[in-house]
Structure 1
Amino acid sequence: MGPIMSTGEMGTGHTALGCQTVDKTVIALFIILVLLCLVAVVGNGSIVVVLGMKWLLRRTLSAHNKLLISLAASRFFLQSVVIGKNIYVFLNPTVFPYNLVMLLINLMWDFLTAATIWFCSLLGFFYCVKIATLTYPVFVWLKYRVPGWVPWMLLSAVGMSSLSSILCFAGNYLIYSSFVKGAHQPRNATGNSLKRSLEKFYFFSVKVTMWTIPAVIFSIFMALLLVSLVRHLKKSLLASSGLQDVRAQAHAKALFTLLSFIILFSSCFLSLVLSSASDSPFQEFRYWIWQVVIHLCTVIHPLVMLLSNPGLRVAVKRGCC
């Protein structure tokens, strides 16, 4: 169903969409969201193309780049799904959120969101093991083992993401089935009660649990890496004349990149959790503001990766030229 213009008068701050008045701020947020997602698609797509070409030419890819291309690919497809979903709900603001189209869209969104969080967590774990100069025997052992584990780590992340999306799909389908059965009943109290219970308890519990596991792993290893980098930065500053020293500059740059990674990951995670806790209809302002906040974080990180990774930066410049 496309946008339908009503024949009645409307206020200056509203326009008609799907037989309902939509505030112009919602339209502005929708446009901002689509533009943010397009930037994210281009940024992540550039990373996928650069690393994919390297993989084809060299017939191999380092463990670090395998994690990067997996993360960029999951974000690329996630942002594409987000664009499609929000165009659909913008044109159909009163659509039943568990119809067949939304079932398929939400299945892809749940899988790709969980996969993105897991890949971020694995990338953080890899950074910690490879960069941190901790002398514990376990870390020394991991330094040599982790690169060989990366394919299995990625498969495990895909498996956990699939489990999360299947659990959410089962709940969504249960609501859809209840809605279809009670469609001809004027008062479907059982269906409405089931919908409220699943939205309030089941979906929130499943999503938060499946998102929190990789988030905790990420937090632990990022904290260890931060401690290691801060120690080395202090040593470099004491042994040199300040930030003019090359080693000190390298440590400061690594620390800045790491902090931006942590802040963006944490912001995105918290935004997703808070958004899942709130049940806002598609036509409400709150729904769109949450969408913009969540995807603002996912836009910035690929740009940080492109700017902080010399190989990616040079390859993208060559491609643009």
Structure 2
Amino acid sequence: MQNHVEKILLVLIIGEFVTGVLGNGFMVLVNCIDWVKSKKLSTVDLILVVLGISRIGLLCLIKWDSFLFLFFLDQTDDEHQNFIRDLFWIITHLSSVWFATSLSIFYLLKIANFSHPFFLWLKWRINQVVYILLVGPLFVYVSYQSIKLVELYSDRTLSRRENERNESQAVQMNRKHYFIEEVGINILNIPPFILSIISCFLLLYSLWKHSQKMQLKVKTSRDPSTEAHKRAMKAMLSFLILIIVYHIGILFTYKNFSKLTSMFGMALMSLYPTGHSLILILWNSKLKHAALLVWRQLKCCLKLNKSSNV
């Protein structure tokens, strides 16, 4: 029974990986093609491009980890391999979270309506604010974590030389190291998570104020501002929910040494970079239109193949 569950989870992880890479790749490709055609790239399109690239890297890392832990657990004790893996993890993990947070703040500044001077000052400088959020905190965090990572592996290498352990103890210590390191890295997710919650709350408050104003006016079938508020709210809430699921998956993957539990955790982790990007495609008019065009072309190709085979 357990083997069947493991096979199902493995298929699910592979399916999430393929779907996530295709979805994020589609998001990057559409915006890059539009960039080449129009010779310019808007701020929101730039965020979507870098977000898609970072999530493709994160999905590749999750897939790498899944194969290492499931099939080559005895090889996860390689210090050089672990160093590269952890450095890559820091870059993809933190960049993915910060880029999604930048998108939430962009939606807030672009859509919400507040009369506070500080908010108006930020709104008038929306591009500069987003660029600073994209580069500034991420550069500081990655630099700090990279230095700490070098120190950590230097200490671990010295301790290994002084105290040699048997193979099973080394693997167990390696899994414990992963969990401790993930906790340390995920503490750095608190600032962007708080910023995302604040952005979501302020946008919700702006929607409520706008709805109150619309009740005093003649109701129309569809109000563009209300629709924009709702789409942005859905994108923000989906990010917050999926990032929580992602961190629950990390706990399942690295805290418990059970193979089945680790596979379940990796399936949960893959939901975030896959699911949120698909949601962004559905709620972005340009990406949704491009996706529908691709879908129609695929349907036409399938019909032509069927007719030629008959």
TM-score where L is the length of structure 2 = 0.81
Match of 1:315 in 2: 290
Paired with 1:80 and 1:150, the residues of 2 have a C-alpha distance of: 27
What does 1:62-81 align with in structure 2 at a 5 Å threshold?
62-81=42-61
Number of residue pairs aligned between Structure 1 and Structure 2: 295
Q: Is the 8 A contact 2:13 2:266 kept in 1?
A: yes
Match of 1:10 in 2: none
Q: Return the match for 1:297 from 272, 283, 288.
A: 272
Q: By how many angstroms is 1:40 displaced?
A: 0.9
Q: By how many angstroms is 1:36 displaced?
A: 0.6
Higher mean alpha-carbon deviation, 53-62 vs 129-138, is at: 53-62
Q: Could you report, residue by residue, the CA deviation over 1:125-177 in whole angstroms, capped at 9, with x for unpaired residues? A: 11111110111111111111121343333221430441364156336524651
Match of 1:146 in 2: 126
Q: By how many angstroms is 1:234 displaced?
A: 4.2
Cα 1:175/1:94, change in 2 over 3 Å? farther
Match of 2:221 in 1: 245
Paired with 1:216 and 1:291, the residues of 2 have a C-alpha distance of: 25
Q: Could you report, residue by residue, the CA deviation over 1:285-317 in whole angstroms, capped at 9, with x for unpaired residues? A: 221111111222332211111111111122334
Is 1:109 aligned to residue 83 of structure 2? no
Three-state SS of the structure 1 residue aligned to 2:73 is: coil
Q: Is the 8 A contact 1:82 1:109 kept in 2?
A: no
Cα 1:204/1:89, change in 2 over 3 Å? closer
Q: By how many angstroms is 1:60 displaced?
A: 1.6
Cα 1:273/1:110, change in 2 over 3 Å? farther
Q: Could you report, residue by residue, the CA deviation over 1:231-271 in whole angstroms, capped at 9, with x for unpaired residues? A: 32344356455xx7110x76256425523532433332354
Match of 2:198 in 1: 220
Q: Return the match for 2:36 from 56, 64, 80.
A: 56
Paired with 1:31 and 1:178, the residues of 2 have a C-alpha distance of: 40
Q: Is the 8 A contact 1:39 1:299 kept in 2?
A: yes
Aligned-residue identity in percent: 18
Paired with 2:31 and 2:194, the residues of 1 have a C-alpha distance of: 28
Paired with 1:255 and 1:62, the residues of 2 have a C-alpha distance of: 21
Cα 1:295/1:288, change in 2 over 3 Å? same
AA paired with 2:6? V
Q: Return the match for 2:230 from 255, 259, 283.
A: 255
Is 1:236 aligned to residue 214 of structure 2? yes
C-alpha RMSD of the superposition: 3.3
AA paired with 1:125? I
Cα 1:274/1:262, change in 2 over 3 Å? same
Q: Is the 8 A contact 2:51 2:100 kept in 1?
A: yes
Three-state SS of the structure 2 residue aligned to 1:246 is: coil
Q: Is the 8 A contact 1:115 1:157 kept in 2?
A: no
Q: Is the 8 A contact 2:249 2:268 kept in 1?
A: no
Q: Is the 8 A contact 2:107 2:232 kept in 1?
A: no
AA paired with 2:209? R
Q: Is the 8 A contact 1:167 1:206 kept in 2?
A: no
Paired with 1:319 and 1:313, the residues of 2 have a C-alpha distance of: 10
Paired with 2:24 and 2:61, the residues of 1 have a C-alpha distance of: 14
TM-score where L is the length of structure 1 = 0.78
